[in-house]
């Protein structure tokens, strides 16, 4: 190879690399990378105080829950939607809330055992409490569907 051939090959390589860098600059200008975008956290909406709007808000929350909910009893995966009760649940010492569904006909005592196996609270013995304006301790001998509404919040607390 002569020196003229190597010089022309070097010129082609530099023109290709400059064209490539120009193309990358244009792509970056018109299509910014996903890492450069700022993600804004979703604002947590307060429940409305108007009873009509509160009912609508709860229906929408229940619809959203159905997509994210996991069965509290891992063996029970094929219950029809009409038999499911979707709830938020947490242990009293935990801050994160998880979304579960239970059968409406399941006894509250069994539901408590299933929630305890999923959430693994530290306190024993436990009770299942319905969180609201006034916290209500649930009876273990009654089906959970008769004591709790869809989209309610439950927590496991130590029994006094």
Span 96-136, pLDDT tens digits: 899 999 999 999 999 999 999 999 888 888 999 999 888 99
Q: How far apart are CA 144 and CA 127, in angstroms?
A: 13
| pLDDT tier at 83, thresholds 50, 70, 90 | very high
pLDDT at 37: 52
- Please tell me which residue, 61 or 136, carries the higher pLDDT value: 136
Sign of CA dihedral 73, 76, 78, 80: negative
Higher pLDDT: 85 or 17? It is: 85
């Amino acid at each position: 190879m002569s020196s003229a051939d190597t010089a022309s090959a070097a010129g082609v390589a530099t023109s290709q690399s400059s064209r490539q860098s120009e193309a990358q600059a244009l792509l970056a200008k018109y299509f910014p990378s996903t890492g450069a975008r700022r993600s804004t956290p979703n604002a947590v909406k307060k429940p409305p105080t108007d009873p009509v709007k509160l009912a609508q808000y709860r229906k929408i929350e229940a619809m959203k829950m159905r997509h994210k909910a996991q069965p509290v009893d891992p063996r029970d995966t094929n219950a029809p939607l009409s038999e499911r009760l979707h709830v938020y649940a947490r242990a009293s010492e935990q801050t994160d809330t998880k979304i579960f569904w239970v059968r409406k006909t399941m006894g509250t005592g069994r539901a408590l055992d299933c929630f305890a196996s999923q959430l693994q609270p530290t306190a024993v013995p436990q009770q299942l409490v319905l969180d609201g304006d006034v916290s209500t301790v649930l009876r273990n001998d009654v089906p959970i569907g008769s004591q709790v509404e869809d989209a309610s919040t439950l927590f496991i607390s130590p029994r006094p």
